[in-house]
């Protein structure tokens, strides 16, 4: 970041990007459709399951592939588990940066580790899951997985409550987050802010409700909304969303049935979708994650575009920092 400061007050801020740029899109255009799947894990290693889902969803749209019921339920379960661990770690990192040091972060990582154990026993890898496929998921759950997951989700609210106790009434957190980094709803919409950051401004826009992809319309859950659009609201948005994720997960465990996990019509080798283009998007934990694909009928996509949530959320970084400071 190039920052002009006056004391501790930011007068100007220009983010400088590109230090981690590896031209993922070029790699995607030079790889087959299937080969891009493990690369999507690496877009955001906290949320590899949702990245997989967004890519799988786009290819399914592009090629018109149906997904079996059990696979859809598993996708919802995995996406919500991802949301839990992403939001928990985010709160931990925020408190870490605020001076609480590693303690809350380690609590968050402890809970995350349990979820990653689930991912590992299911997909073989903690973070680079590479689990979803066009037309379903790669393999079925190992025996005992669902019971372990159910137990974990039942025990998770205790952790959310503890985290809330650490955050909610804490005077330091309140002083350093309330009225800081305020964002108006108009600017948030215009600047394409998505995810919890948008909802903290009070805009009711969650793709799980709006697009109703996957089996989300089958679940009863609420969308938490903020009021002030400041850092405190954004922080609380994560706590509340974790609670809703637990609600969704409990329903999904009730509803999931045995069945096939992969659409048998889908070819794995030399997969060629018909000519056309598709844009698929999901509500990833960090915001709207979209994949825009153009197929020319070959084994590689002609154009492979990732619409990243965090990169676009950073559009307003300067505006957030320039707003009147409480001191």
Cα separation of 136 and 154, whole Å? Answer: 27
Task: Tell me the CA distances in angstroms from 52 to 4, 47, 190, 282, one per residue in order.
Answer: 39, 9, 28, 10
Q: Are 316 and 187 in contact (CB under 8 A)?
A: yes
**Of 117-125, 230-238, 243-251, 255-263: span binding another protein (CB under 8 A):** 117-125
Query: What does the angle CA 40 – CA 81 – CA 108 come to, to the nearest 5 degrees?
Result: 100
**Of 19-27, 221-229, 230-238, 253-261: span binding another protein (CB under 8 A):** 19-27
Residue 32 within binding range of another protein, rule CB under 8 A: yes
Q: How would you list the strands of the sheet with 276-284, edge to edge?
A: 276-284, 287-295, 303-307
Residue 47 within binding range of another protein, rule CB under 8 A: no
Residue 120 within binding range of another protein, rule CB under 8 A: yes
Shorter beta-carbon distance to another protein: residue 148 or 253: 148
Shorter beta-carbon distance to another protein: residue 259 or 297: 297
Residue 278 within binding range of another protein, rule CB under 8 A: yes
Q: Are 226 and 206 in contact (CB under 8 A)?
A: no
Residue 1 within binding range of another protein, rule CB under 8 A: no
Q: Which of 7, 254, 258, 269 binds another protein (CB under 8 A)?
A: 269
Shorter beta-carbon distance to another protein: residue 189 or 247: 189
Binders in 136-195 for another protein, by CB under 8 A:
138-139, 142, 155, 162, 165-166, 168-174, 187, 189-194
Query: What does the angle CA 137 – CA 142 – CA 145 come to, to the nearest 5 degrees?
Result: 100
Q: Are 153 and 246 in contact (CB under 8 A)?
A: yes
Binders in 68-87 for another protein, by CB under 8 A:
none
Six-digit token string for 148: 């372990």
Q: How far is the CB of 5 from another protein (least distance, A)?
A: 20
């Amino acid at each position: 970041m190039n920052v002009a400061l006056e004391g501790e007050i930011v007068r100007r801020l220009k983010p400088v990007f590109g230090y981690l740029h590896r031209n993922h899109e070029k790699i995607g255009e030079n790889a087959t459709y299937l080969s891009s799947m493990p690369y999507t894990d690496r877009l955001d290693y906290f949320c590899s399951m949702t990245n997989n889902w967004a890519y799988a969803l786009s290819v399914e749209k592009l090629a018109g592939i149906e997904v079996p019921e059990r696979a859809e339920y598993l996708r919802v379960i995995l996406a919500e588990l991802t949301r839990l661990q992403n939001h928990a770690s985010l709160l931990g990192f925020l408190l870490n940066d605020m001076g609480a040091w590693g303690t809350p972060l380690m609590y968050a990582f402890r809970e995350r580790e349990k979820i990653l154990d689930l991912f590992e026993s299911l997909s073989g890898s903690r973070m680079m899951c590479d689990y979803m496929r066009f037309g379903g998921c790669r393999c079925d759950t190992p025996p005992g997985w669902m019971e372990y997951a159910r137990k974990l989700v039942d025990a998770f609210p205790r952790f959310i409550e503890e985290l809330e106790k650490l955050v909610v009434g804490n005077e330091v957190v309140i002083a350093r987050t309330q009225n800081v980094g305020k964002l108006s709803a108009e600017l948030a919409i215009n600047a394409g802010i998505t995810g919890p950051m948008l909802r903290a401004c009070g805009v009711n826009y969650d793709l799980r409700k709006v697009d109703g992809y996957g089996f989300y319309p089958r679940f009863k859950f609420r969308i938490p909304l903020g009021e002030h659009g400041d850092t405190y609201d954004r922080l609380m948005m994560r706590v509340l969303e974790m609670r809703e994720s637990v609600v969704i997960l409990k329903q999904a465990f009730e509803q999931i049935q045995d069945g096939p996990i992969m659409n048998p019509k889908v070819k794995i080798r030399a997969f060629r979708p018909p000519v056309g283009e598709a844009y698929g998007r999901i509500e990833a934990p960090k915001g709207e994650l979209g994949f825009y694909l153009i197929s020319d009928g070959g084994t590689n996509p002609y154009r492979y575009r990732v619409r990243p949530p965090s990169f676009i959320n950073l559009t307003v970084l300067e505006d957030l920092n320039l707003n009147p400071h409480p001191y």
